[in-house]
Amino acid sequence: MNATPPTKVRPSRGRAGKRRVRLPAQRTDWSQCDPGNLEHPSLYINRELSWLEFNQRVLNQALDPSHPLLERVKFLAIVATNLDEFFMVRVATLLKKYRAGIEDVSPDGLNTEQQLAATRARAAEMMASLTRCWREQLRPALAAEQVRILEPDEYTDQLRAHLADYFRAEILPVLTPLAFDPGHPFPYISNLSRNFAVVVKHGGRTKFARVKIPATLDRFIPVPADPAGNGGATFVFLEDVVRANLQLLFPGTELQSAHLFRIIRDTDMVIQEDEADDLLETVDRSLKQLRYGALCLLEVEDTMPRRVLNILVENFEIDEDIVSRTRERMDWDDWHQLTKLHLPHLKDAPFSPRSIWSGYTEIFDDLREEDVLVHHPFDSFSSVEAFLRAAVEDPQVIAIKMTLYRIGSNSPLVDMLVEAAEQGKQVAVLVELKARFDEKNNIAWANRMEAAGIHVVYGVVSLKTHAKLCLIVRKEQEGIRRYAHVGTGNYNRATAAVYTDIGLFTSDYAIVDDISEVFNYLTGYSNRRAYDQLLVAPVGLRTQLKALIDRECEHQRNGRPARLIFKLNAVADPGMVRNLYRASQCGVRADLIVRGVCCLRPGIPGISDTITVRSIVGRFLEHSRIYYFENGGDPEVYIGSADLMERNLDRRVEVLCPVHQPDLKAHLRDVVLETLLSDTDRARVLRTDGSYVPVSVPAGGDPVNAQRRLLDVYSLLSSSVL
């Protein structure tokens, strides 16, 4: 395309970023809060800003020199991945509302424009901190360990010649230059891709092209050992090698400049219930449409000329308020590649998870005697695989039913389900096609299982099925008996090695009967509104949790033991926050262990002064959900898949399952929850103003790292079964 006259940037349709957006003044005198008005915006922390503070706690791990060096690099990459997903979903949703003129006001009193301004500003601060962490701490520390990542001005002539040869052999064949002129339309740019906007002189005219850097190529390219014989490992950046050799893609032209850019698209899938005659087909069609999702961020190098930026802005049909100029690298998710280096001394020490069952032949005998609790990753995920393997191998098993949300890319569980179906067992699987970022993968698994004769259900159109359930039906001498596994995490071997999750194996008649009814609801037509043992969303979980919290208030008023301990990932639902405020006003002590978003403000006099909130971010991702109710001295404990968020309570199929066995309840309270509450190393406490601060270590004491202590506890338990 001829660059004269240059394409002009259209006037912005939006206002965010074009003028200063005023945020409501935050209350500082919490003693003046009205205890009778639990809906006042000052009582709530903004959900989006709370999530960003969680990501800051992850970034703090990258900044913490007590972690092994490559673990710090891992945390850096996680922060970047999290931010990308935040823009793809949360910022994209705000942008959709803003562009449509929908002025939703969040519980904390911010309108859409104010939330956009606040989240963008906080995300920009975080990216600046991330890049400083790399530049000032991690990169020099890696160099001290003989792991060097070179910038172009550090190349020797010998290295440049080597990289030119490498480019011709390994990179050039993969690249595809796409011209942009009247005969070549503006090319499709994929989500999260890195690209060069290239300016060339051709036939006396200035023209433009786009070169995508394929994600199939490693970001960090190893180069020959240091000629000085310093040893170690040396890398260069892929984009630097491409930039230095782009002329080879445009022979016979004058390469004038090349400017890196990256886009993030809206990936939030919305399915219209009245249009979803075939859910699999609808999800598949929606995935294809998402490839063209509206841009929510355009990152460009700060050296990109105005005329080049004009062309991108015009052809993406965006406003400049979503453009971000940077002098730093883009796409920090690729730093995960460095964590694969074989440098054990720079990583966490490996550990051997506890094995519950040595084989699978004794599993059903064990479960007839007592329930079994597992705690991943301290307990091996092989317990779940052994449970399903027992069902496949046992001729007395006649049916298997299972929910699958995030299965993973290489699942042995699917192989076992297929094998069971081929043996003639009845196998029914609900595959949640709408699991965000796993839709394509789940469609492939669903097709494979259907081809094997498995009864596959794709979920409920208007709901996501997030419950983690596996039910085994066995024909025994006394009659039909059922066995179940209820979990807090996905049936995914990879995530079970790094996420903390709880699983309960049981043959308790009342529980497995309820689980059967849940499967009837998922696979057939059932209007059941109440369950004997399980708390099930969306039919009753919200009202039942409220009733359990209210019961603690009644115990407190009557002088009986009352306490709440909730361990979960998020507290964001305003109704549940108000329930907890009312419990605090009754004097009930509530200790919340919330990994991520928490919209509740603790410590407000007369409203939340008996509530504490702490977050633990450490070696493992805290993912389990445990709900503990003191219940007047007769404790009740539930585990399951639901957080205290509107989507979990009202728009998902979720299950919380009671743990009845006294020793298991005691273990969850005394070993798991109390250990987490004692953490003074990785825990951060939420203050009333929304900030998180480290927990004070008692004078003369050593910091308590809860995850490390749990590793020690489970290693001592060895092969014993809970």
Interval 321-339: pLDDT, tens: 999 999 999 999 999 999 9
d(CA 444, CA 394): 28
For 703, phi and psi rounded to 5 degrees?
Answer: -60, 145
d(CA 127, CA 328): 10
Assess whether pLDDT exceeds 80 at residue 544: yes
d(CA 24, CA 114): 9
Work out the average pLDDT over 163-178: 95
285-288: Cβ within 8 A, 24+ apart: 286/439, 287/439, 287/440, 287/443
Burial 72-85 (b: 16+ CB within 10 A, else e): bbbbbbbbbbbbbe
Burial 612-628 (b: 16+ CB within 10 A, else e): bbbbbbbbbbbbbbbbb
| pLDDT, tens digit (0-9, with 9 covering 90-100), for 443-486 | 887 888 888 889 988 877 778 889 999 999 999 999 999 999 99
Q: Is the peptide bond preceding residue 538 cis, with omega within 30 degrees of 0?
A: yes
pLDDT of 17 reads: 42
Work out the average pLDDT over 58-81: 97
**What residue spans define the domains of the chain?**
39-144, 151-273+286-318, 363-523, 535-717
Mean pLDDT (the chain) is: 89
Q: Is the peptide bond preceding residue 185 cis, with omega within 30 degrees of 0?
A: no
Same fold, 39-144 and 363-523: no
Residue reference for tokens 């942009």: 180
Lowest mean pLDDT among 80-84, 434-438, 662-666: 434-438
Q: Judge whether 298 and 274 are in contact, CB under 8 Å.
A: no
Of 578, 652, 591, whose CA–CA distance to 626 is shortest? 591
Confidence of residue 10 (pLDDT cuts 50, 70, 90): very low
pLDDT of 306 reads: 94
Assess whether pLDDT exceeds 50 at residue 13: no
d(CA 626, CA 658): 10
101-108: Cβ within 8 A, 24+ apart: 106/44, 106/46, 106/47, 107/39, 107/41, 107/44, 107/574, 107/577, 107/599, 108/41, 108/42, 108/44, 108/45, 108/46, 108/599
pLDDT of 230 reads: 59
Work out the average pLDDT over 128-139: 97
Assess whether pLDDT exceeds 80 at residue 285: no
Confidence of residue 500 (pLDDT cuts 50, 70, 90): very high
d(CA 321, CA 297): 9
Lowest mean pLDDT among 26-35, 116-125, 142-151: 26-35
Q: Judge whether 292 and 269 are in contact, CB under 8 Å.
A: no
Assess whether pLDDT exceeds 80 at residue 360: no
Return the percentage of the chain with pLDDT > 70, whole number.
90
pLDDT of 369 reads: 93
pLDDT of 276 reads: 44
Among residues 375, 466, 555, 667, the one annotated as catalytic is 466
Q: How far apart are the first and last CA of the chain?
A: 70
| pLDDT, tens digit (0-9, with 9 covering 90-100), for 549-597 | 999 999 999 999 999 999 999 999 999 999 999 999 999 999 999 999 9
| pLDDT, tens digit (0-9, with 9 covering 90-100), for 381-394 | 999 999 999 999 99
CATH of domain 363-523: 3.30.870.10
Q: Is the torsion defined by CA of 373, 375, 379, 385 positive or negative? A: positive
SS3 139: helix
Q: Is the torsion defined by CA of 630, 632, 634, 638 positive or negative? A: negative
Assess whether pLDDT exceeds 70 at residue 28: no
d(CA 685, CA 221): 41
Confidence of residue 699 (pLDDT cuts 50, 70, 90): confident
Which tokens is 529 given? 């509104």
SS3 170: helix
Radius of gyration of the chain (CA): 28
- Measure the CA angle with vertex 1, ends 18 and 206; round to 5°: 95
Query: What class, spelled out in words, does domain 39-144 have in CATH?
Result: mainly alpha
pLDDT of 11 reads: 34
DSSP string, 674-721: HHHHT--SSEEEEPTTS-EEEPPPPTTPPPP-HHHHHHHHHHHHTT--
Residue reference for tokens 């460095």: 338
SS3 622: strand
d(CA 72, CA 70): 5
Assess whether pLDDT exceeds 90 at residue 359: no
Superfamily of domain 151-273+286-318: Polyphosphate kinase middle domain (3.30.1840.10)
Of 580, 679, 669, whose CA–CA distance to 626 is shortest? 669
Residue count of the chain, please give it: 722
d(CA 381, CA 485): 12
Q: Is the peptide bond preceding residue 5 cis, with omega within 30 degrees of 0?
A: yes
Of 597, 638, 618, 268, whose CA–CA distance to 467 is shortest? 638
**Max intra-chain CA distance, the chain:** 90
Is-catalytic flag, 466?
Answer: yes
Q: How many CA atoms lie within 13 A of 611 on its CB side?
A: 30
Q: Judge whether 40 and 34 are in contact, CB under 8 Å.
A: yes
| pLDDT, tens digit (0-9, with 9 covering 90-100), for 197-207 | 999 988 778 88
Assess whether pLDDT exceeds 90 at residue 143: yes
Superfamily of domain 535-717: Endonuclease Chain A (3.30.870.10)
| pLDDT, tens digit (0-9, with 9 covering 90-100), for 514-529 | 999 999 988 876 677 7
Lowest mean pLDDT among 78-82, 133-137, 376-380, 403-407: 403-407
pLDDT of 722 reads: 52
Confidence of residue 271 (pLDDT cuts 50, 70, 90): low
Confidence of residue 438 (pLDDT cuts 50, 70, 90): low
Lowest mean pLDDT among 18-27, 32-41, 325-334, 671-680: 18-27
- Residues in Cβ contact with 710 at an 8 Å cutoff, skipping those fewer than 6 apart: 375, 378, 671, 672, 675
Assess whether pLDDT exceeds 70 at residue 378: yes
Confidence of residue 100 (pLDDT cuts 50, 70, 90): confident
Burial 457-467 (b: 16+ CB within 10 A, else e): bbbbbebbbbb
